[in-house]
């Protein structure tokens, strides 16, 4: 509601729309993850194409911020899961002592650390103005999205499915992963973008 301009993707590229123009209306509603979703309604508003190259850079920065959010989500839900493995008992032993669950937890930790490295590399590429910025950001977004989805899925399973209930905080992270995972492009979109931008340069 506080925006002065909206960046709108059109067939002609990204256009800027004045928020005060006639025919511009924003409708807000609460999202499943506790946030707010705004829907922009445009009634035949003339949109001017963005005049400077900073639009692509701004979209990459927003995508990286989304990847960092997803990485943090994965890290937090993983910590919650490890804590639960230490206190939940079966056969008079903490379930975290079972080798099968230990292996799954280690595999998940590896994916989260790979996401951490990808997000850090993308941030360095943006800060350094690297030519491979787009590829680095797409790698980070794809890895962080996959890590967040996997962490949320494993959390539900290792909590004995109580993660699906509203009473469990795990369910909040599941919904957040589903919501944030597609912001600024899904993991599949960014894998395709990475292939298009990084692989030709490498060959």
Distance of alpha carbon 103 from alpha carbon 98, whole angstroms: 9
Query: Is pLDDT of 184 > 80?
Result: yes
Radius of gyration of the chain measured on its C-alpha atoms: 20
pLDDT tens readout for residues 93-146: 876 667 777 888 899 999 999 999 999 999 999 888 767 888 999 999 999 999
Query: Is pLDDT of 34 > 80?
Result: no
- Would you state the pLDDT for residue 13? 65
| 30-39, 47-56, 71-80 — most confident range | 71-80
Q: Between 10 and 5, whose confidence is greater?
A: 5
- Bin 44: left if φ > 0, else alpha if -120 < ψ < 50, else beta: left
Q: Between 102 and 71, whose confidence is greater?
A: 71
């Amino acid at each position: 509601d506080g925006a002065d301009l909206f960046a709108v993707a059109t067939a002609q590229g990204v256009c800027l729309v004045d928020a005060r123009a006639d025919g511009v209306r924003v409708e807000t509603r609460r999202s499943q993850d506790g946030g707010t979703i705004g829907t922009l309604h445009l009634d035949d508003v003339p949109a001017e194409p963005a005049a400077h190259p900073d639009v692509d850079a701004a979209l990459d920065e927003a995508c990286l911020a989304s990847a960092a959010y997803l990485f943090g989500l994965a890290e937090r839900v993983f910590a919650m899961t490890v804590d639960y493995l230490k206190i939940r008992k079966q056969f008079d032993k903490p379930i975290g002592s079972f080798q099968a669950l230990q292996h799954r937890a280690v595999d998940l930790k590896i994916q989260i650390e790979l996401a951490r490295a990808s997000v850090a590399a993308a941030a360095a590429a943006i800060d350094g103005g690297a030519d491979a910025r787009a590829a680095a950001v797409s790698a980070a977004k794809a890895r962080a999205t996959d890590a967040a989805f996997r962490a949320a899925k494993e959390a539900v399973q290792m909590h004995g499915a109580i993660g699906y209930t509203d009473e469990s905080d795990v369910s909040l992270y599941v919904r957040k992963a589903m919501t944030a995972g597609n912001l600024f492009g899904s993991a599949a979109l960014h894998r395709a973008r990475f292939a298009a931008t990084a692989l030709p340069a490498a060959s």
